[in-house]
Amino acid sequence: MSILLTDNVSPAARRDILDLEQKISSFRSGDIADEAFRKFRLTRGVYGQRQPGVQMIRIKLPHGRISASQLVRIADLSDKYATGNLHATTRQDIQLHFVKLADSPQLWAELEDAGITLKEACGNTVRNVTGSARAGIDPLEPFDITPYAYHVFDYFLRNPICQDMGRKFKISLSSSEKDSAYGYMHDVGLIARIQDGKRGFKVMLGGGLGAQPFSAQTAFEFLEEDRIIPFIEGVIRVFDRYGERQKRHKARMKYLLNDIGLEELLRRIEEETPALKNKIFSVDSAPFSVSEQYADRPEVSGYTLETENQKLNNWFKTNVFEQKQAGWYAVQLRVLLGDMHSDTARALAQIVKQYAADDIRVTVNQGYLLRFIRPEDLPAVFEALDALGLAEPGFDTTADITTCPGTDTCNLAISSSYGITRALERMMHDEFPDLVFNDDIKIKISGCMNGCGQHSVANIGYHGSSLKNGAYVLPALQVLLGGGFNGKGEGLIADKVIKIPAKRGPESLRSLLRDFEANAFDGEYYSDYYARQGKNYFYQLLKPIADLKTLVDSDYIDWDHTEQYVTEVGIGECASVLIDLVATTLTEASEKLGWAQEALAESRWADALYHAYNVFITGARAALMSRDIPTNTQHGIVSDFDKTFAVGPSHGNGAGFHEAEGDFKALVFSINKQEPSEEFARRFIAQADTFLQAVQAYRNQQIEQEGAPELQELTQAQDS
């Protein structure tokens, strides 16, 4: 099948798409190992589902920004290649499910035609850059973070420093001190500030969720705006160099920070300064400035809407706010489960074209935000949205639960997220109708401990799990409490309190809400109430619900299911394969040398240098693997190679690559000692080329003396 590529597709994207098509062909013919292909496709936004033979496609929307026409394009492609559903995520992406692998290159090509990418939406790369959806219209913001979010995204897209890290890397930008983009749970979290009349950001490092969530540490209370991108580049380079690579569960930035401490991390970041592509990076805000047509309209500022339609009144109170541009209003859409049908998406795009600015934002709680709506148009907008089921009051309130897809599609999920979310929202609607006006308590749900639903930063969180009762297993929910923001605006990580049968989720939430109503002080935030009462208080409160002696037959059946529950591991995409790991690694090094030479030809000195650096790392890893020496961090690979392959009788290996121990380390790490000039790039690439040839010659000699290597089995690993 030939890929149709329009003139709107950039040369870089064109090559990526054709490369994906070629790799799919090689994978299907057995010429590329499953694990290598998995790593490749993930960085192209193609993610294996729980169901065999189909993929989830993650569409990368920087800062969640999307135009009406782009929304229509995604809807059309969902109809053409997927299921007609658009799933909004907590990272402001849109996902399509049940896509055939063979269709993914053409789907990508048709997205790129509309200015949308899949590149680095998954995998061990810089993931989508998220930000406050209200940016640019937020009455509390010191300035609009939109251009900064876009330039961070653009700077690291296809950047050599973050193409093959130990794990994923996440960045967020918040408009104000409310930290609505949850910077405190990101690898790098930025909060907009002005100091002495200058723009800048509070910088937080090393936050993260998963099985062991960490709050980020403050690196700077204020860092000038033009130093932000160079600083992040330094952080990523250090993470790439020293981050864990073997123990996947320890391979996040938060563990590196925890191991070496903030002071040492900042020292290592400073060491990278000479090698940075840019020492300062000024952001051009002009393309993102508000058009003159959206100037203040003070004659209609402070508009109120009161009608006999109670739903309309509630919608206006909870889903609508006046922007910082006086007389203009924004409308927030509450979307159950983050799922929107393609027909609904197309109709929404028409509403935007008629009534709003062509700048839709996907929100971090899986909704949508429409901007620059005239107050006199709000009743008509409500009617149009209500006809689509998009005018439910209570956006980002207690009644608006954030959730991941769970076992509906995800390989890693343990129990149903969608089912319990529907049940909880239904219970709150029936028994606690006023919660649509409560925006202090946030409820978040994930299908497993990994935290795509961000349960660890919820005031009340749940994640999917399982429980054993004798010979039987039942679906369960781990209850977490006390996360999110307290009354001081501090971001907190929730405590694990107790595990309960999944079918008792509504009973647990009912108990928690009634307890809060009865015992909280007036105006007390939920996380402050949790801290005041203490973990044991809530454990005792929920303990009767966790009692397995009172189980009934329905407790063994998960939400949205009729069959008895069993714990399932996601199905891999194909059988295991046998490969020569050293040869595969050397091929990878050769590819990186090609990228270095290409960057050199295009006068991209910093990029060329980093590709060449990776040639040294990958080649050294191959040589160490040939001697059955385990490898881990890049820094460790260099040190071990330096010691193992130095010339001299003390080493006794007969395969010296350098005269004395320390020589190889000095050569490789010279990358961060000099400015990225043409002369340095040419020399460094030539040295990398010579080194790779030497490693390949050594490997050929080893095979000649010892015989062909024993092929090793690789099986499908889980995506994440």
pLDDT band at 240 (very low <50, low <70, confident <90, very high): very high
pLDDT band at 715 (very low <50, low <70, confident <90, very high): very low
What is the predicted pLDDT for the residue at 288?
85
List for the chain the helix, strand, coil content (%; round to 5): 45, 15, 35
What is the predicted pLDDT for the residue at 583?
86
CA distances to 185, 208, 458, 554, 584 from 182, rounded to whole Å, are 6, 10, 11, 37, 40
Of 457, 453, 448, which Cα lies nearest the Cα of 404?
Answer: 453
The CATH class of 130-288 is alpha beta
The residues facing 99 across adjacent strands are 55
CATH number of 11-112: 3.90.480.20
- Taking the C-alpha atoms of residue 509 and residue 511, their distance in angstroms, rounded to an integer, is 5
pLDDT band at 580 (very low <50, low <70, confident <90, very high): low
Of 413, 418, 390, which Cα lies nearest the Cα of 403?
Answer: 418
| Contact assessment for residue 699 and residue 611, using Cβ atoms and an 8 Å cutoff | no
Asked if CATH classification 3.30.559.10 holds for the domain at 577-714, the reply, yes or no, is no
Give the angle 309-315-317 at the CA atoms, nearest 5°: 105
Joined tokens for residue 7: 């003139």
- Taking the C-alpha atoms of residue 420 and residue 403, their distance in angstroms, rounded to an integer, is 10
- Report pLDDT digits (tens) over 5-36: 999 999 999 999 999 999 999 988 888 878 88
- Report pLDDT digits (tens) over 79-108: 999 999 999 999 999 999 999 999 999 999
Joined tokens for residue 297: 């309209």
Is a pLDDT exceeding 50 seen at residue 573?
Answer: no
- Report pLDDT digits (tens) over 58-73: 999 999 999 999 999 9
CB-based contacts of 342-347 (< 8 A; 24+ apart in sequence): 342/75, 342/76, 342/78, 342/79, 342/84, 342/85, 342/86, 343/75, 343/84, 344/388, 344/389, 344/390, 345/71, 345/72, 345/74, 345/75, 345/86, 346/71, 346/72, 346/75, 346/76, 347/384, 347/388
- Report pLDDT digits (tens) over 337-374: 999 999 999 999 999 999 999 999 999 999 999 999 99
317 backbone dihedrals φ, ψ, rounded to 5°: -75, -35
Q: Which residues contact 25 (CB under 8 A, 6 or more apart)?
A: none
| Contact assessment for residue 694 and residue 626, using Cβ atoms and an 8 Å cutoff | no
The DSSP secondary structure of 98-140, one letter per residue, reads EEEGGGHHHHHHHHHTTT-B-TTSSSSSB-PPEE-TTTTT-TT
Q: Average the pLDDT over 421-449 and give the result.
A: 95
What is the predicted pLDDT for the residue at 648?
62
The residues facing 465 across adjacent strands are 476
Q: Average the pLDDT over 317-331 and give the result.
A: 96
Using DSSP, state whether 465 is helix, strand or coil: strand
- Taking the C-alpha atoms of residue 285 and residue 147, their distance in angstroms, rounded to an integer, is 5
What is the predicted pLDDT for the residue at 636?
95
Is a pLDDT exceeding 60 seen at residue 1?
Answer: no
Using DSSP, state whether 23 is helix, strand or coil: helix
Instruction: Report how far Cα 361 is from the mean position of its chain's Cα atoms.
Output: 17
Q: Which residues contact 563 (CB under 8 A, 6 or more apart)?
A: 557
292-387 adopts what CATH topology?
A: Sulfite Reductase Hemoprotein; domain 2 (3.90.480)
| CATH homologous superfamily, domain 402-556 | Sulfite Reductase Hemoprotein, domain 1 (3.30.413.10)
Is a pLDDT exceeding 50 seen at residue 224?
Answer: yes
What is the predicted pLDDT for the residue at 53?
86
| Contact assessment for residue 144 and residue 150, using Cβ atoms and an 8 Å cutoff | no
What is the predicted pLDDT for the residue at 716?
38
- Taking the C-alpha atoms of residue 641 and residue 715, their distance in angstroms, rounded to an integer, is 28
Residue-range domain boundaries for the chain: 11-112, 130-288, 292-387, 402-556, 577-714
Number of Cβ atoms within 10 Å of the Cβ of 292: 6
Is a pLDDT exceeding 80 seen at residue 578?
Answer: no
Indicate the burial class of 263 (C-beta count within 10 angstroms; 0-12, 13-18, 19 or more): exposed
| Contact assessment for residue 173 and residue 201, using Cβ atoms and an 8 Å cutoff | yes
Task: For 170-201, give one letter per residue: b (16+ CB within 10 A) or e.
Answer: bbbbbbbeebbbbbbbbbbbbbbbeeeeebbb
Is a pLDDT exceeding 90 seen at residue 181?
Answer: yes
- Report pLDDT digits (tens) over 458-478: 999 999 999 999 989 999 999
Number of Cβ atoms within 10 Å of the Cβ of 628: 6
Average pLDDT, rounded, for the chain: 92
| Contact assessment for residue 43 and residue 19, using Cβ atoms and an 8 Å cutoff | no
Q: Which secondary structure element, helix H or strand E, spans residue 481, and what is its range?
A: strand 472-481
- Taking the C-alpha atoms of residue 492 and residue 398, their distance in angstroms, rounded to an integer, is 17
Is a pLDDT exceeding 80 seen at residue 710?
Answer: no
Share of the chain above pLDDT 70, in %: 95
Q: Average the pLDDT over 288-309 and give the result.
A: 81
pLDDT band at 569 (very low <50, low <70, confident <90, very high): very low
Question: Fold match between 130-288 and 402-556?
Answer: yes
- Report pLDDT digits (tens) over 629-674: 999 999 999 999 999 998 764 444 446 788 888 999 999 999 999 9
Is a pLDDT exceeding 80 seen at residue 256?
Answer: yes
- Taking the C-alpha atoms of residue 701 and residue 460, their distance in angstroms, rounded to an integer, is 61
| Contact assessment for residue 424 and residue 443, using Cβ atoms and an 8 Å cutoff | yes
Is a pLDDT exceeding 50 seen at residue 130?
Answer: yes
- Taking the C-alpha atoms of residue 163 and residue 175, their distance in angstroms, rounded to an integer, is 28
Give the angle 275-277-279 at the CA atoms, nearest 5°: 85
- Taking the C-alpha atoms of residue 312 and residue 386, their distance in angstroms, rounded to an integer, is 9
DSSP single-letter state for residue 271: H
Cα-Cα-Cα-Cα torsion 264, 265, 266, 270, nearest 10 degrees, comes to 100
Give the angle 547-552-554 at the CA atoms, nearest 5°: 120
Number of Cβ atoms within 10 Å of the Cβ of 659: 11
- Report pLDDT digits (tens) over 674-687: 999 999 999 999 99
Q: How far apart are the first and last CA of the chain?
A: 29
